[in-house]
Amino acid sequence: MIDIDLVFGRNDNVIIMVFAGEEVIVLKLRMGLFAALIALLVGAGLSVTTSSEASAMQALNDTMSVRWDVEGGSIRRSIVASETAPGGAALEVRMRRRLEEVWRSRVTVPLVRDINAGDIVELRVWVRAETPIRGMDTGNIDLQLVRTSEPYDNIFSENIRPTEEGQYYTVRGTATADFAADDVVFGANMGYGRQTIHFGPIFINRVGTAE
């Protein structure tokens, strides 16, 4: 099954994301070229359809140049080649020990657009446990979109248990307050134990507004 999502990015760009199983292809076109591509497909007799959410979808992170950061102690990162991650490379994050407060060591990605109260936000990120937590067959991390200052509220927070078979995880939430772009991040809390996690492509999109 192939899914095609359209995301309206910055500077009059359209980002086309093609998902085919675990593979993802990302294309960025100027609006004029995008319109020409649609016209070419229609002229060739092909039908072009998009989801009802596509017109409202808007990228909240920089999907073409993702900046991964790490915070806290006992955590290290590096870029590694990967036979399973889409694109052939992954961010490898090594957590050395368990923490009482799991959020004190985490991976973050900044946002480039503000979020307004009522916005529905969707995260899609590829994750794999390279080395599961000892005694478990999985890793253990929290996926959050969280404010970086008081009151430290979040749009969503979901615990996942990634396996050695990487996959995309999708999480949605609705903002109950305004979040400035420089005061909110994607965060993956790593402090549940000694583990090594691979992160692949990440997409954070505004997909609509709550009625």
* Residue 134 DSSP SS3: coil
Short-list 57, 67, 65, 60, CA closest to 16: 57
Average per-residue pLDDT for the chain = 83
Domain co-membership, 85 together with 42: no
Region 83-92 average pLDDT: 92
DSSP 8-state secondary structure symbol assigned to residue 102: G
- Pick the range with the lowest mean pLDDT from 46-50, 171-175, 189-193, 197-201: 46-50
Residue 125 lies in a domain: yes
Tell me, yes or no, if the pTM score tops 0.85.
Answer: no
Query: Residue 45: is its pLDDT beyond 80?
Result: no
In a domain, 64, yes or no: no
Residues 39 and 135 in one domain: no
Identify the weakest region by mean pLDDT among 85-89, 102-106, 143-147, 175-179. 85-89
Instruction: Quickly tell me which residue has 């507004």 as its tokens.
Output: 209
Query: Tens digit of pLDDT for each residue in 138-193?
Result: 999 999 999 999 999 999 999 999 999 999 999 999 999 999 999 999 999 999 99
pLDDT computed for residue 211 by the predictor: 74
Number of domains in the chain: 2
19 shares its domain with 121: no
For residue 55, pLDDT beyond 60: no
Give yes or no for residue 66 having a pLDDT over 70: yes
Instruction: Answer yes or no: is 193 within a domain.
Output: yes
For residue 7, the model assigns a pLDDT of 47
Co-location of 106 and 184 in the same domain: yes
Residues 122 and 142 in one domain: yes
What range does the domain containing 22 cover? 2-58
Instruction: Give a yes or no: residue 155 inside a domain.
Output: yes
The Cα–Cα gap between 146 and 167 comes to 23
Confidence of residue 210 (pLDDT cuts 50, 70, 90): confident
Confidence of residue 64 (pLDDT cuts 50, 70, 90): confident
Tokens of 29: 């076109």
Which parts of 44-89 fold into alpha helices (H)?
A: none
User: Does one domain contain both 137 and 48?
Assistant: no
41/13 same-domain check: yes
Query: What average pLDDT does the segment 98-103 reach?
Result: 95
Residues 24 and 85 placed together within one structural domain of the fold:
no
Q: Give the pair of three-digit tokens for residue 179.
A: 């979040």
Percent of the chain surpassing pLDDT 70:
73
More confident residue, 11 or 93: 93
The last residue of a domain, from among 58, 82, 101: 58
